[in-house]
Each structure stands twice: as structure tokens, then as C-alpha cells.
Structure 1
């Protein structure tokens, strides 16, 4: 890669923050239909805090796992709502999964997605079909694992990941919420996309951009 792994991850978190900020009102509107109408604000605050914390690191002497550990702490400190612990746990899982690694090959990138999905699932005690962010993250993780197993190029893998996440998020419209604040609505949650799954797609899109920026014309 043209830059070290820690700088690539820092760039990734910057792109996530920009993308979330751009969709902040949309995410809060989605949340307004079935929640507290603050999901966009919450996510924006969380990733702004992450980038503030990462700006303090010496990225030339920082491991990928340390970037995710710093992100986990910063996100949790900034976001007290349920989303905070979920993504903090997700980033800690990613840190643990990357511990022995100093590179970010396509296989390593797939490991990150899988670790994030596992972290969210373990912390939230949820599953696919509950109408939560897992409806995007679990399909994304499955697509990542499948792409890595067939040694897909970086671009191919991320296209598969994003397509799976988008399909998963869109599917939440036909689900009745089983977890979170939306579960209080019962059948009234039908017809609305889960805001957590919508923000997961935005995050994954920014991650794809970060990992494919210099891989557009050549396989990794």
C-alpha cells in the first residue's frame, strides 16, 4: 500500500465521519419514524470524537490494532446511548483480530468486517432479522468471508460487501423490530428502514472508499 496501515485506517475513519455528517439529517429522519430522531447526531458525534483522538497518535509508529482500540474508547466516551457500547465493542473486537497483523490485505479487511459484526452481535445479544444494524453487518461479514475465500480483488470484495449490506438494510423495511426502542412500536415499525442498518451501509461505503482509493485500476 502507498501508506502504512495505521494511516490507512485513520483515513478510513475520516471518510466515515464525512459520510455520516453528509447523511446526518437523513439518519435522524429515519430514526424519527421508529426511535428518538437522534441517530444521525449520535453517529456524527461518535466519529468526530474518534477522529479527534486519532489525530493525537503518531501514526508512523502505531499498529492497526491500536487505531481500533483508540477508536473504541473515543466512540464510547462520546456516545452514551446504546450505539456507543455496540460500536466500541465492535472496534475492540477488530483490534483483537488485528493484533498480530501490521498490514491490511483484502483478507485482513475481511477480518475487520467479521470482527465488527461479531462484536455488535455479542454486545447487543441480537441476530439477523431483529431489524437492527446487524441486518446490514451480518450479510456484509458473510460477503467479506466469501470474497476472501475465493481471493477476490479488493474492489470485488468491497462491491460484494456493500451490495450485501444494502440488501440487508433494505430488507429491514419489511421487518417488525425485535430489539431497541423501535421494538416498542411492534407492527408500527413495519415499512421503515432501521436507521442503524442505514448508517452501517454508509460506514461500509466509506470503508470501501478508503481501501480502494489506490486500487481502482489494479487488483491488490
Structure 2
């Protein structure tokens, strides 16, 4: 992961969010406030507008800037959660280029930041159900000596599996938890946007 790849990744996330904005909102309308797609789109639009005017010296600067913009631009819980994740990843990558192991550690820092903020664990029907298995898959490939693209691809697959696995769960955190058993049978929108983020990483890395 270098500065160019970090920029391209963020731009790819923005494109994926733009493409799936209505779908994310549709998912959120079933068990949330029906604003997840709109909020995520607003946040990443702000990011893509601001990043071209910056000259970062490290991968971390790109990600910290992304996180700060998400916190300021995204409404609801998504801004603080995704913003804290990107800021934590960025603080762990104060280097011009990160290898696979270093990026794995940064992803773990991002996950820890989200969990500290939202107090969610796997099985709560939140973004953690996609984020945690993605980090585990990325770490597994990194520890085995695999390259960045392979690790990113494994993480994206794991995130999507975790996303789909939220459908039969009853929500225990967030707005959806207020619905109790009625939250069962709906895919979690936060897990879905998290899966988009990891798929964007995989596709960006594979294109290098």
C-alpha cells in the first residue's frame, strides 16, 4: 500500500458507495433510519472533493484525512464509526509505503477503534460482522507470507460472507436493536457498506 494506492482505494470506495447508494438506503429503511446510503454518499463525496487538493507524505495522511472528513460530513452513527476506523488505520501507517503485515496491523487498529466506540462484537448484526472476519482473513494471508492483493481479496470475500450472515441475526446494537425479532431476515446496511469498502480494496490492489 503506497500513497497512490491509498488515494485510488478511497476513490474506489466513493464510486462503490455512489453505485450502491439506493441499495444501502433500501436496506436501512427496513431496520434503521433509511439514511445510510445518503450519509455514506455525502461523506465520500466530501472526501473525493478534498483529497485532490492535498499532497500527503504518507499512506497514513491519506487515511487520517479521509476519516476526519467522514466524521465531519456523515450524519448518524456512520460518520464517527467509519471515521474512527480510517483515522486509526492512518495513525498506524505513518510511512510512505506499507507492506502486507503493516497494513494488516493497521486494519486491526481500525477494527479495535470501531469496537471501542460502538461496543459491538461479531453476532450483534452490525458492521463488525463484516469487518472482523475481513481483518482475520487479511491477517491470515499476511502471516502466511501472501502478497497484498491476495490478502485483500481474501478479506473482501470474508467481509461479504459476514455481510450475508447478518440476515438471520437479531440485532443487538444500534437502531435496529429496537426492533427486536423484527430485525431478523434483513441484511445489515453497515455490514454491507463495510463489504463494499473491502471489495474496493481488493479490486484496487488487483488492478496494480
TM-score, scaled relative to structure 1: 0.90
* CA-CA distance at 1:202 after TM superposition: 0.7
Please give the secondary structure, in 2, of the residue aligned with 1:98: coil
Indicate the residue corresponding to 2:28 in structure 1. 31
**Is the contact between residue 64 and residue 86 of structure 2 (CA under 8 Å) also seen in structure 1?**
yes
What are the Cα deviations for residues 77-122 of structure 1, in whole angstroms up to 9, with x where unaligned?
10131111111111111012112x3213222332332222112111
Indicate the residue corresponding to 2:38 in structure 1. 41
Which blocks of at least 5 consecutive residues in structure 1 are unaligned? 215-220
Shift in alpha-carbon separation, 1:69–1:155, aligned structure 2, 3 A: closer
The alignment status of 1:132 with 2:129, answered yes or no, reads no
The structure 1 residue matched to 2:192, chosen from 198, 210, 213, is 198
**Is the contact between residue 91 and residue 119 of structure 1 (CA under 8 Å) also seen in structure 2?**
no
1:1-220 alignment runs, 5 A limit:
5-59=2-56, 62-99=57-94, 101-214=95-208
TM-score, scaled relative to structure 2: 0.95
Q: 1:104, 1:51 → 2: CA distance?
A: 22
**Is the contact between residue 139 and residue 151 of structure 2 (CA under 8 Å) also seen in structure 1?**
no
What are the Cα deviations for residues 58-82 of structure 1, in whole angstroms up to 9, with x where unaligned?
24xx211111111111111101311
**Is the contact between residue 120 and residue 173 of structure 2 (CA under 8 Å) also seen in structure 1?**
yes
Q: 2:80, 2:108 → 1: CA distance?
A: 17
Alignment: residue pair count: 208
Q: 1:211, 1:159 → 2: CA distance?
A: 8
